[in-house]
Amino acid sequence: MDGERCIQNRVVVIAMDGSTEAESALQSSHGGSGWNPFTTFWAANDTKTMAEKFEKESQNATKVTSHIEKLLQKFEINGKVIRVQGDPGHAILTTTEECKATCIVIGSRGVGAFRRTVMGSVSDYILHHSNIPVLVYRH
């Protein structure tokens, strides 16, 4: 009985970015409750271009957020979607701490060794900096 109550009170962060890998990680997490950080990045040289890219990213983030909310309903996962900004690894870990999560689930895109070495990997960052268990789901 105590074990069942403990499972019901767990908070799991499912890091979502709109990719098929992230969606697969969510699907594999049936029954968990979680917060789903979504992070986007853009860079530009002038204010007009920045404003246009910001608007485009904002619209895209709204679409992805809506899609994630529908996935939560579809898979009957009791959760909440929050959009975060900034460095994705740090933002996910900060959100994890704020909601007192007991586990993190994140999809792996399976990028090549060169790209991962040069650009880093969010899942690698989280694995090395998290104080709680991390499940990296590779589709």
Q: Is residue 65 scored above 60 in pLDDT?
A: yes
At residue 1 the predicted structure's pLDDT band, cuts being 50, 70 and 90, is: very low
Q: How far is 65 from 59, CA to CA, in rounded Å?
A: 10
Which structure tokens are listed for 139? 């589709």
Task: Identify the residue with better confidence: 30 or 32.
Answer: 30
φ and ψ at residue 16, rounded to 5 degrees? -120, 135
Q: Which of 21-30, 65-74, 77-86, 109-118 has the lowest mean pLDDT?
A: 109-118
Q: How far is 117 from 104, CA to CA, in rounded Å?
A: 23
- Structure pTM? 0.64
Q: Which domains does the chain have, with CATH numbers?
A: 10-138 (3.40.50.620)
Burial class (CB in 10 A: 0-12, 13-18, 19+), 39: buried
Q: If residue 137 lies in a helix (H) or strand (E), which one and from where to where?
A: strand 134-138
Average pLDDT, the chain: 75
pLDDT mean over 65-69: 90
